[in-house]
Amino acid sequence: MRIRTNIFIWLFVAIVLPLTALTLGATYYSEHTYQREVTRQVSTSLNNIASNIKRELIANRNLALGISQAPAVQAFLPVLHDISRSELPGNTAKLRRQVNHYFEGFQTILPGRFILRLLDAQGNTVVKVNHSRISPAIYESLSGLRYAEEELNEPAFIKLVKQLPEDEASNLVLPHNHRQADPTQTFLVQDALVPLYVDEVFVGALAFTIAGEEFDRLLDHATRLYSGQLLIAEVNPDNPGQHGLRMYDETEDLRFSRIEVDPKLLQAPYAAAFLEYASDNQEGIFNTSDGQQIYYTELFPYPNQFTIWLVASRIDTDQISAPFTRIRMGIWLVATAALFISLLLTDLGARRIARPLCQLASHIKAFADGDRQQHVTTRQPTDEVRALATAFNYLTDTLQIAETERDRAQHMVLQSNKLASIGQMAAGIGHEINNPLNNILSYTKLLSRNLEQHSDKLDSPSQQQLLADLQSLREETLRASEIVKGILNFARQVPPQYSHFKVQPWLENTLNLVLQAAKTRQVQLELHNSYDGELEGDRGQLQQALVNLLLNAIQASPGDSKVRLNAHCEDEQLILTVSDEGTGISEDTLDNIFDPFFTTKPEGEGSGLGLSISLGIIERHQGQLEIANNPQRGVTATITLPLQAQVNKPV
């Protein structure tokens, strides 16, 4: 076994690794225990909030019951009784004023908005006080009694009220509130109703409506454990319009007293699953898909109904796990430090191999100075030095292979212009030949059709021979057409093969391809790249286009000048510029530089297809290629490419 491995295993595996595993296990156990304590605390807090809300609801019902038993209300009951028998006592106006003043006095007692109504046996509003404002009786009726609101024609509602228990306040939804023109008079909390009887005869009801400010104040002052956000939602599967109704939601500033025209239902992707889970479990924790936990408990707000309110708190899981995450990060940092310490001690224990390493270093230096024949023997005293010698030999072999591959790539770049010229020529010849071939096919078809129509004028053997000759001519023409089609397929450009690749290594590799050409002409290459990201495109085709531009810049540059390649990102686009210090391009020539076979180079130095091919590649990538003269001297070619491909890529 290697010395380094032996020392490392003894230090790291025998000491550091067990301690790291033990401390990590302790953090996970502590987190699990902490999670249970968090659940207990949050559940207790939610139960306290639910209890406070329930006490507030009970207090409202008790208040409604107390108001119904007040002397002013009781004195008005005989009037309601007479009204139910279509009689109108003479003291009705006086008694109604007393009830109005009594209701009005609650403005100093009841916080927030409220509505007190005194209804007759038909559900019509005889007396109404909206907070501190008395609603005048201005609506006519057939009985001669004026009402504070328009007459109600809701037999089903009266039937429900008569079914409520006597001498007890119950919750019900008043149709009066839903008939209001002002949507702010529509409240989320159901109204408290007390049916009124005289000698066991139903004569009307007292209705108490609250806007819910006291619930908002209660929830605003409630404790938010672990930065939780409170949510009060209704679970009522029998009423789809109310199922999932949010009455209080801190995430969107929804409150009991803030009435929306349209009901705000739970719209999260997990809403349906959460409501279904809550319907089956009285309290618990629901894990959402966005990394949150919803702690909730159920509350039955109305004793005479099966409506459920969910009192919930949304807590980000990071709020709970963050301390333990930081502890574990600290443990990993300590373990990493221990790893480096172990490696250091391992190096100290392996000092005896220093001399072979120095010898190996001298071979590496000689190789770097240009002696490519350096090769180290693998007969070394230790496994470590033997591995290094093998690695050095592998490095020298790999570099030689890489240089060979680079030369091959440069040769391929030189051949690309030749292939482009051949492709252009092949396309032109193919199109020129294809037209007469199509004419031949058309004539053979016409001749065959005429022979078949005048078959009675020819002898049968000669007719058959002529038809056979025409068929042979047609087959040979089709064969020639297939050959032309092959030529056209050769000339056609290959579609890009898209992939993601890092820009910096790609630029460095591209410069290496033209480095020899630059050295030959004594031109310096400079690269300035401020974008350290990725580009999506055909790496080879884009490299071909960039190489064409770099070669043009190198060939246009005088000796001892520079060709600069700059790259930066702007508005989700990669912008590449290739600048030279040559003489520039004349204005007449600028209009023709992208034409196939157009070149300003001496005969034999260029095919005139480089810029045409580059332009086609860049345009297939939804990019742009612009070439312009510099203000001082030289030319700048600018390539603009989208970082993400904007076309349908082949699968």
165: tokens are 């228990």
Q: Indicate if the pLDDT at residue 344 is higher than 80.
A: no
The string of pLDDT tens digits covering residues 271-315 is 888 888 888 888 999 998 888 899 999 999 998 788 899 999 999
- Strand ranges of the sheet holding 201-210, from the earlier edge strand across to the other edge: 133-134, 125-130, 114-120, 201-210, 191-198, 170-172
| Listed residue (553, 537, 613, 547) closest to 409, CA to CA | 547
Q: Angle, to 10 degrees, between the axis of helix 92-104 and the axis of helix 71-84? A: 140
- What's the pLDDT band for 121 if we cut at 50, 70, 90? very high
The string of pLDDT tens digits covering residues 413-459 is 444 454 455 556 656 676 678 778 788 878 788 877 777 776 655 55
Q: How far apart are CA 163 and CA 156, in angstroms?
A: 11
Cα 411 to the chain's mean position, in Å?
Answer: 45
| Listed residue (512, 528, 614) closest to 577, CA to CA | 528
Whether pTM exceeds 0.75 = no
Query: Best-predicted range by mean pLDDT among 419-433, 465-479, 574-588?
Result: 574-588
The CATH superfamily assigned to 499-642 is Histidine kinase-like ATPase, C-terminal domain (3.30.565.10)
Please state the φ and ψ torsions of residue 127, each to the nearest 5 degrees.
-130, 135
pLDDT at residue 563, rounded to an integer: 92
191: tokens are 């109204």
C-alpha distance from residue 8 to each of 351, 382, 383, 386, 554 (Å): 14, 16, 15, 19, 54
- What's the pLDDT band for 650 if we cut at 50, 70, 90? very low
pLDDT mean over 84-105: 88
Element (H, E) at 349: helix 317-349
Residue listed under structure tokens 């929830």: 219
Inter-residue contact 179 to 81 (CB < 8 Å):
no
> What does the H/E/C string look like for 276-319?
HHHHHCCEEEEECCCCEEEEEEEECCCCCCCCEEEEEEEEEHHH
- Strand ranges of the sheet holding 573-579, from the earlier edge strand across to the other edge: 523-529, 561-569, 573-579, 635-642, 624-629
Q: What is the sign, positive or negative, of the torsion defined by CA atoms of 407, 408, 413, 414? A: positive
Please state the φ and ψ torsions of residue 575, each to the nearest 5 degrees.
-115, 120
Query: Best-predicted range by mean pLDDT among 85-99, 178-192, 372-386, 422-436?
Result: 85-99
Q: How far apart are CA 524 and CA 518, in angstroms?
A: 7
Q: Determine whether domain 225-319 maps to CATH 1.10.3470.
A: no
Helix, strand, coil: what percent of the chain each, to 5? 55, 20, 30
Strands 523-529 and 561-569: parallel
Q: How far apart are CA 299 and CA 311, in angstroms?
A: 7
Residue 558 is given by DSSP the state: P
Torsion angle, alpha carbons of 468, 470, 472, 474, to 10? -140
Please state the φ and ψ torsions of residue 96, each to the nearest 5 degrees.
-65, -40
pLDDT at residue 382, rounded to an integer: 65
Cα three-residue angle 391-397-401, rounded to 5 degrees: 135
162: tokens are 């008569």
Q: Indicate if the pLDDT at residue 154 is higher than 80.
A: yes
What are the boundaries of each domain within the chain?
225-319, 499-642
| Listed residue (231, 297, 244, 239) closest to 270, CA to CA | 244
Q: Which position has the higher pLDDT, 427 or 94?
A: 94
Q: How far apart are CA 50 and CA 232, in angstroms?
A: 10
Q: Angle, to 10 degrees, between the axis of helix 17-68 and the axis of helix 317-349? A: 170
Please report the DSSP string for 375-394 in residue order.
Answer: ---S--SSHHHHHHHHHHHH
Q: Indicate if the pLDDT at residue 252 is higher than 70.
A: yes
Q: Is 618 helix (H, G, I), strand (E, B) or coil?
A: helix
Element (H, E) at 642: strand 635-642
Mean pLDDT taken over the chain: 81
Q: Is 562 exposed, middle or buried (0-12, 13-18, 19+ CB in 10 A)?
A: middle
pLDDT at residue 59, rounded to an integer: 92
pLDDT at residue 91, rounded to an integer: 87
Q: Which position has the higher pLDDT, 126 or 240?
A: 126
Residue 552, amino acid = N
pLDDT at residue 440, rounded to an integer: 85
